[in-house]
Structure 1
Amino acid sequence: MVPARQRTYGTDYAILQRICGIVLAMLLLLGVAGPAAAQDAKAEGRVLKLVALGDSLTAGYLLPESAAFPTVLQAALRAKGHKVEIANAGVSGDTASGGLARVDWSVPDGTDGVILELGANDMLRGIDPAVTRKALDGIVSRLKARGIPVMLAGMYAARNLGPDYQKRFEAIYADLAKEYDLVLYPFFLDGVQGADPRLALPDGLHPSAEGVKTIVERILPSVETFLARLKG
């Protein structure tokens, strides 16, 4: 015959597990169950604050705020379960040097990461790629000094600027990504420029609302990789 104590072992063990679970939960709430566990619990519920630092392509030239790149990207990320807020720090007509001049006040303290999209206006104005490189390098290094990670969105040069300019300009983004170990999205207008005319405004340079949706759809995997780094 099995002793009574053995017959009740399963029930007693279940009760013990439940008590241990309650105690652990209380310790977590009190912050005494270990810094790593407490930090993980806090991180799960925290909203990541991003800044999209760019020119008119980021700002949403001639588009309502609801159709601008940062807003559409934020909605797409939230739909996939990411807790993010993306501030729109795009300024139409801005060059890389302009972005460097305003980076300190455009990216406030407490920012978790920056999506950097600049250089298109440099290219359109034929600015020496060395100047653009120096400015973008300055932005990345200044943010790094503040402990703010950067994701870099690149730009291709117009073919009428010649192969030498094209090579020097487009190398900027790959070189900086390698030097600073950045997540790089090589061409911000991928799938929009030279594609369906409905994806661009009549000027042929800026994305329409549908074009912004295409940009977001294509850049989304790279942004999720960037978020994984931030969370990691």
Structure 2
Amino acid sequence: MHLLSRFAGILCLMACLASCSGNKSTETTQQATTSRSDTANAEKSASTILFFGNSLTAGYGVEPSEAFPALIQDKLDSLGLNYKVVNAGVSGETTSGGNSRIDWVLRQPLDIFVLELGGNDGLRGIPLTETRQNLQAITDKVKAKYPDAKIVLAGMQIPPNMGKTYANEFRDLYKELAEENDVTLIPFLLEGVGGIRELNQSDGIHPTPEGHRIVANNVWDVLANEL
């Protein structure tokens, strides 16, 4: 009997240890699952900033990580801000082309919409009435789809190749559109970069990596107030 009693005690102790081990394993699994769930929830809740533009936004001639939208993402990450940047830039895009593809782009939910278009219109001498109408149409579509989204309009300027009057009116239409639509304006996207040879590629139009860093600062100075 004494031997049987000792054997029963050993079995009881083994069962207890197995139970404790099982509880610990379950607890660890639950913690890991919770951690993954928290990470997934954080990713889902990230606000989206969508940059809609031409080759300047797309980062023509530089690495994707060197284009100003990517630099904005780096800035957001460094500050621990839960935002995701989407680069919807297409090289060569005009306001007409942008207006044609905006409906497709707006399938992507967004919280802040940065509109950077018009430069190619100006370089081609497209009538300002057409550029204005297209920018207005894009703005209207964004507001209709996401009425709570904030809109930032990137102002642009062009050399007086098409005449001083055209260049001045082109510059002014961005300010006018921003005021008429009550949206935020970046006065001149390429401030401190446009026309400076060492900050632009050989075409004299597209910024170098250093130029993009300055452009990113121009954007951030305005964008930071919208977060």
In structure 1, the residue matched to 2:135 is 136
TM-score, structure 1 as length reference: 0.75
The letter of the residue matching 1:177 is: A
Helix, strand or coil at the partner of 2:60: coil
In structure 2, the residue matched to 1:78 is 77
Bigger Cα Rg: 2
Helix, strand or coil at the partner of 1:115: strand
Alpha-carbon contact 1:52-1:58 (below 8 Å) kept: yes
Question: Identity across aligned pairs (percent)?
Answer: 40
In structure 1, the residue matched to 2:17 is none
Listed as ranges, the gaps of 5+ residues in structure 1 are 1-41, 228-232
- 1:219 CA displacement: 2.0
5 Å-filtered alignment, 1:1-232, equals: 46-146=45-145, 147=147, 148-195=149-196, 197-227=197-227
The letter of the residue matching 2:220 is: L
TM-score, structure 2 as length reference: 0.76
Helix, strand or coil at the partner of 1:111: coil
Q: Distance in 1 between matches of 2:59 and 2:108?
A: 24
Q: Which runs of 4+ in 1 moved over 4 A?
A: none
The letter of the residue matching 1:70 is: P
Q: In the comparison of the two structures, how many residue pairs are matched?
A: 184
Helix, strand or coil at the partner of 1:82: coil
- 1:109 CA displacement: 4.0
Helix, strand or coil at the partner of 1:86: strand
Q: Distance in 2 between matches of 1:109 and 1:70?
A: 17
1:202-230 residue CA offsets vs partner (Å, 9 max, x unmatched): 11100011110111122212011122xxx
Q: Distance in 2 between matches of 1:224 and 1:81?
A: 13
Helix, strand or coil at the partner of 1:127: coil
Alpha-carbon contact 2:186-2:218 (below 8 Å) kept: no
Q: Distance in 2 between matches of 1:142 and 1:79?
A: 32
Listed as ranges, the gaps of 5+ residues in structure 2 are 1-40
Structure 1, 57-66 or 71-80: larger mean CA deviation: 71-80
